[in-house]
Each structure stands twice: as structure tokens, then as C-alpha cells.
Amino acid sequence: MQHPASVRTQERTRRFERLQRERLERAWRADLPGTHNPHVVVALPSYSLDHTVYEHYGARVGPLENRYLYVILRCQEPGTRVVYLSSMPVPAAVVDGYLGLAPAAARRVITERSLLLSADDSSRRPLAEKLLDDAEVLDTVRRFIGNDVALIEGWNVGEAERDLAIALDVPINGTDPRLRGLATKSAGRRLFRDIGVPLPAGVEDITSPAGVVAAAHDLRIADPGLVGVVVKLDDSVAGDGNIVLRFDGLLRDDPAGLTDLVRQVMPRWYIEALRQGGVVEALVSGDGFCSPSGQASIRLDGVIDVLSTHDQRLGGPQGQVYEGCSFPAAQAYAPDIGRYVARVGEALFAKGALGRFAVDFAAVRRNGGWALFALEINLRKGGTTHPYGVTRVLTGGRYDVEAATFVLADGTLRCYGATDNLIDEKWLRLSPGQVRRRLAGAGFGFDSRSRIGVIPHLLDCLAVDGRMGYTAIGRNPDEVASLEAGVDKVLRGVRPSGLASP
């Protein structure tokens, strides 16, 4: 006899499959660029993540959700309405900031065509779970959708997001949660190997410190020049599940020394999490090390849309945590990244995946060129989603994969630098309005005519820990660098000089 929970899971799986089969294609086609068919986009920045991630981010989760608020700007597109869902009510000053990015004549249209709804729940769990507990919010979403087709655009798709789709009877442009195993670190390495995408030497399916020691020892024996390894939890985000083991001072054949090193750097919580699986991977190092990534979308018809490439900016104690990005990635290797990402997308589609995904790489100079190594697959949106999304909406540009350029309708180019981690404890009392006024007063605000300037985000995180982010859009990397340097100086009370006017 089956357990009741198992029966419920099977029933939800069947209902979700039927919903996707019967509703997704029509809604997806209505949302294609230029179609102008009446439809509703349900923006769902719900993070189905391990509870330890919620504990790590704490009060920052709400502001992180609101990075996705730029989606209301899509209401300027004929036929498009938007429901934006959040854990807590979005501060009015944050909403005003996004509305202010649109031409004055379009702001009323955006307000009329969008609906912002909150679960009014600050608990540390996925937004979708909170919404499932709020029948009134769900009824309001249904009334807003009415007879139009609708599509959920989520950050990722877990069981809670699946159940919310079923409750709303609205399909999701994303991968069935039963396939989430495709994007574990171990599964990603196997897929790269199978389709001929280069990857670092490594070992998958590690579940214990002893396994880490054995894998690290074997990798070091095989490559005497190896400087270290990275241990990665199979199911982790933003580099928070990565630990670097450097071999400085260790003899080449020294399992005891490796064991001591693992004991020193691997906390108890990590050892517990590792039981669910992980990898040990050669630490890529060398001249000009970069951490690029490529983002794409798997269409229902199997076409892989390569949306963007970025050079990621990593930080944290071991240089493994995503903190920002530059777009596009360097032209020396970005076209190759685009081709590899398309190949990965084709393999994922063959396994049933849909919607947004990304691939992270390492790049180093070798033998007069660039060597690329695929590191992991993210079967979801990520840190590069909001800077690319707001740039795409505000400029109407498109990414040319082979040229590795972002081209506007008038043929001019744009690029940007972005971060989620501009932080100063002195900014705890700084309001979103003050930030925008300072930037505008110094000439750094976004100009909708030139499509150049700085777009701040995470402004509701200022009151949490003095943190904010921005996307600085310019015509070339030098202009972006000037904008970024200017933002820092302006916010710290020093007026910049000698900077190009946007």
C-alpha cells in the first residue's frame, strides 16, 4: 500500500503534466516578442532552496526578490499585463524608482496594467509556499487574469512553485521539478563530458570527507602541477556551497596532510550537506583567470535562444561567491561560450528541460589563446537575470552571439557592469529616494533617450545592512567603468570629476 504522501505527490505530478501539456504552448506563444496577443505574465521570484540558504541571506531575501520588479516595465508592450508577487509589500519608493525609468507617458499604462500583490509574510521559506497559504491573494490573481492566457515566469521551479501553478491553473515557463537533478554539480559534469564540452578534471558523487580526501589525492597524483581543488555541494547556489582546498606546503603524496586540511576547512554543516552529494574538481588557475557564464532559454520548439554572456565578478573569503558581472563577456572567448551553451541547451531539451538556464565557466590564457572549462549548470534564473532583463526592456536591444555584442535598433552598441554588493554601513539610513537623487544630480541617472546611465536596485536592502546594487549601461567598457567609479564616489559623498557625460 502506497504512503498517502506518495499518492499526493503522484497526483500533483499528473496534474502539473496535464497543465503544462494543455496550457503552456498557447501562453508561451502569446508572450513571444512582437506578438501583441493579450496575456498575463505572473512574475514569481520564489526561491526553492535549502533552508541553510535562507538562514544565510536572512532579511535580504525580500530585497533580493524585488530585483525582479523590472518586469512591470513590460506592461508598455501591447497586450502584456503583469502580476508581480512578493513576500512583503514592495516599498513605494522602490516601485516609484522603476516607474521612473519609463517615459512619463507610459507610467500610467504600466500602473493600470500591473498588479503588485504580497503574501505579507517575512518567514524564511519560498514565496510560493506563502502564497499557497493565502487564498485571498490567489483569488485576486485569478480575477486579474480573467479570460486571458497567462504564464508564470519563476526564478526556479520546485515542488512549491509547481503546486502554485496547479492552484492558479497557470503553466510555468520552466523545467518540471522532477528533473531538477539535471542541474546538480555531478550531473552537470557528466553531461559536459557526454557532449564534448571541456571541463576540469574531477570526481562526481562525493558524499563524505574521506571521499574528498581520496579524490583530491588522486587528482594531485595525476597532475603534479595542480594548485588545489574545489569541493562543491551538488545542490547549492551563488558559490556558497564551494570550498577551496589549496595544496600550499603539502607534500605531493600526503593523504594524512590532506585529511588534516579537510578537517580544518570543512564545517560540520557542510559535512552534513555533503551526504546529499557533491564533486571534487581541479581548481582552474593560470594567467588572466576569468569566470564567464552564458545564459539561454530552451523554447518549447527546441530552439535554444542564447540570451547573453557575462564575465562574473566573484568575491567572498575564497573568491567563489557571485557578486556582480560585466556584459558581454570578453569577445576573445564569448562566441565559444555561446556555442557551448547552445550545445548544453540541446542536451537538456532532449531530457525534458524548458525555460531559462545558465552555464558557468572558467577561462585562462594557455598556449597563446583562451582555454575554457565548463563548471556547472544552473537550471533557473540567477544573478545576471535582472541586469540583463532591465537592460533588454529599457533599450530594446538584442545579443549577437557570434559578435558577442549587444545591438540596439539603431545599430549602436551597449554594455554594462552590475553588482549586488555595493555596501557601506553608513548607508543604513540612506533612503531609496536619496540614492536616486544623488545619482541624478551628478549626471548618472538613466537617460531613456540615450539609453545610457545607472539603474539602482536592491534599494530596500539599504535598511537591512547598508547594501545596494546597480546596473551601469554605457556605449563601451570605458564608459561603463567611468559610470561605476562615479556611482561609488557620489554615494560616498565625493563628487567625481573628469568623467564623460552620459
DSSP 401: T
pLDDT digits (tens, 9 = 90+) for 184-223: 999 999 999 999 999 999 999 999 999 999 999 999 999 9
The whole-chain average pLDDT of the chain stands at 91
**Rg for the chain, CA atoms, rounded:** 23
pLDDT digits (tens, 9 = 90+) for 436-446: 999 999 999 99
Domain ranges of the chain: 4-173, 180-200+284-384, 201-279, 412-502
Beta-carbon contacts of residue 14 (< 8 Å; ≥ 6 apart): none
Paired sense of beta strands 405-407 and 80-86, if any? unpaired
Ramachandran class of 286: left when φ > 0, alpha when ψ lies in -120 to 50, beta otherwise? left
According to DSSP H, which parts of 252-326 are helical?
255-265, 268-274
Number of Cβ within 10 Å of residue 474's Cβ equals 24
444 neighbors 421 (Cβ within 8 angstroms)? no
All three cell numbers of 410, joined, read 539603431
Q: Give me the long-range contacts of 191-199 (CB less than 8 A, separation at least 24).
A: 191/344, 191/347, 191/348, 191/377, 192/344, 192/374, 194/347, 195/343, 195/344, 195/347, 196/343, 197/340, 197/343, 197/344, 197/374, 198/371, 198/372, 198/373, 198/374, 199/373, 199/374, 199/375
Q: What is the DSSP string of 5-58?
A: HHHHHHHHHHHHHHHHHHHHHHHHHHTSTT----EEEEEE------HHHHHHHG
Distance CA 119, CA 61 (A): 14
Distance CA 239, CA 51 (A): 16
pLDDT confidence of residue 291: 93
Task: Tell me which fold the domain 180-200+284-384 belongs to.
Answer: D-amino Acid Aminotransferase; Chain A, domain 1 (3.30.470)
pLDDT at 402 over 70: yes
405 neighbors 308 (Cβ within 8 angstroms)? no
pLDDT at 144 over 90: yes
Distance CA 103, CA 239 (A): 38
The β-bridge partners of 360 are 293, 376
Distance CA 8, CA 26 (A): 28
Report the predicted TM-score, pTM, of the whole model to 2 decimal places: 0.90
Distance CA 278, CA 236 (A): 10
275 phi and psi angles, rounded to 5 deg: -60, -25
pLDDT at 498 over 60: no
pLDDT at 495 over 60: no
pLDDT digits (tens, 9 = 90+) for 53-110: 677 677 888 889 999 999 999 999 999 999 999 999 999 999 999 999 999 889 999 9
